[in-house]
């Protein structure tokens, strides 16, 4: 047998063995990853919703709504908002009043924005007194008719936020994702409530 054939056989065996090991390891880690994601989801829901008695899940065609109940009545709703940012996908968990008029909380779950600029949508190290100022300004924000933003100025309206200097594209992406998601989700949630 020549050297080329031996190399091909050895590399094939190594590839098969590596594939088997990775496949086995994936089966071991899959449940742990799923459990961790569920724990993070529940934690995010608790962060964006005000105190409530219980949370129920309502599924529609495009959304999963986490409905917070207070005194046995639906009072709040949380949902995921997903869309494109500057670098890639941004995933957020947003809490709202049951009538979709006001945000009760916002948490960024996933993002791949530019480090040091777009990542300020999660935490802004340049603002030592409040590194989460960007997402904090969404709390109690009026979302009708829509969320708007200003650059290099303090918000003057109940539905306005301040964009991050140097990361306007990421800031605007968050606003656009939320506006689009809330508009679609409001219609689906209203339809589900009538069922």
Question: pLDDT digit string (tens) for 30-75?
Answer: 999 889 988 999 999 999 999 888 999 999 989 999 999 988 899 9
pTM for this structure?
A: 0.81
Question: Same domain for 93 and 26?
Answer: no
Query: Would residue 172 be called left, alpha or beta, if left means φ above 0 and alpha means ψ between -120 and 50 degrees?
Result: alpha
> For residue 24, what pLDDT is reported?
86
> For residue 83, what pLDDT is reported?
94
Of 9, 30, 47, the position where a domain reaches its end is: 47
Cα separations in angstroms, 161 against 32, 123, 149, 176: 38, 16, 5, 12
**For the ranges 101-110, 152-161, 172-181, 184-193, which has the lowest average pLDDT?**
184-193
Tokens 């995010």 locate to 44
3-state secondary structure of 162: strand
Terminal C-alpha separation, the chain? 72
Question: Same domain for 93 and 163?
Answer: yes
Dihedral of CA atoms 35, 43, 76, 67 in degrees, nearest 10, equals 10
Question: Same domain for 161 and 179?
Answer: yes
Question: Same domain for 176 and 88?
Answer: yes
151 pLDDT above the threshold of 70: yes
Apex CA 41: angle with CA 162 and CA 179, to 5°?
A: 35
Question: Same domain for 159 and 138?
Answer: yes
Give 114's pLDDT tier (boundaries 50, 70, 90). Answer: confident
Question: Same domain for 33 and 87?
Answer: no
DSSP at 78: E
List b or e across 143-155, with b for residues whose CB sees 16 or more CB atoms inside 10 angstroms: beeebebeeeeee
Question: Same domain for 30 and 58?
Answer: no
- The number of domains in the chain is 2
Question: Same domain for 161 and 100?
Answer: yes
Domain interval for residue 134: 49-193
Question: Same domain for 22 and 77?
Answer: no
Give 127's pLDDT tier (boundaries 50, 70, 90). Answer: confident
Question: Same domain for 21 and 53?
Answer: no
Question: Same domain for 88 and 167?
Answer: yes
Question: Same domain for 98 and 181?
Answer: yes
Cis ω before 145 (30° cut-off from 0): yes
């Amino acid at each position: 047998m020549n050297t080329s054939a031996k190399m091909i056989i050895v590399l094939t065996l190594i590839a098969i063995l590596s594939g088997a090991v990775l496949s086995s390891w994936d089966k071991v880690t899959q449940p742990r990853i799923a459990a961790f994601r569920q724990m993070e989801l529940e934690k995010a829901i608790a962060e964006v919703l005000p105190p409530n008695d219980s949370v129920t899940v309502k599924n529609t065609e495009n959304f999963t709504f986490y409905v917070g109940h207070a005194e046995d009545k639906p009072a709040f709703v949380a949902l995921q908002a997903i869309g494109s940012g500057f670098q890639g996908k941004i995933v957020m968990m947003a809490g709202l009043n049951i009538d979709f008029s006001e945000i009760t909380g916002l948490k960024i779950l996933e993002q791949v924005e530019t480090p040091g600029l777009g990542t300020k949508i999660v935490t802004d190290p340049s603002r030592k007194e409040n590194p989460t100022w960007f997402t904090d300004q969404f709390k109690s924000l009026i979302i009708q008719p829509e969320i708007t933003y200003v650059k290099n100025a303090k918000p003057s309206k109940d539905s306005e936020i301040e964009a991050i200097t140097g990361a306007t594209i990421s800031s605007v992406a968050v606003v656009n994702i939320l506006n689009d998601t809330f508009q679609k989700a409001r219609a689906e949630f209203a339809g589900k409530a009538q069922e």
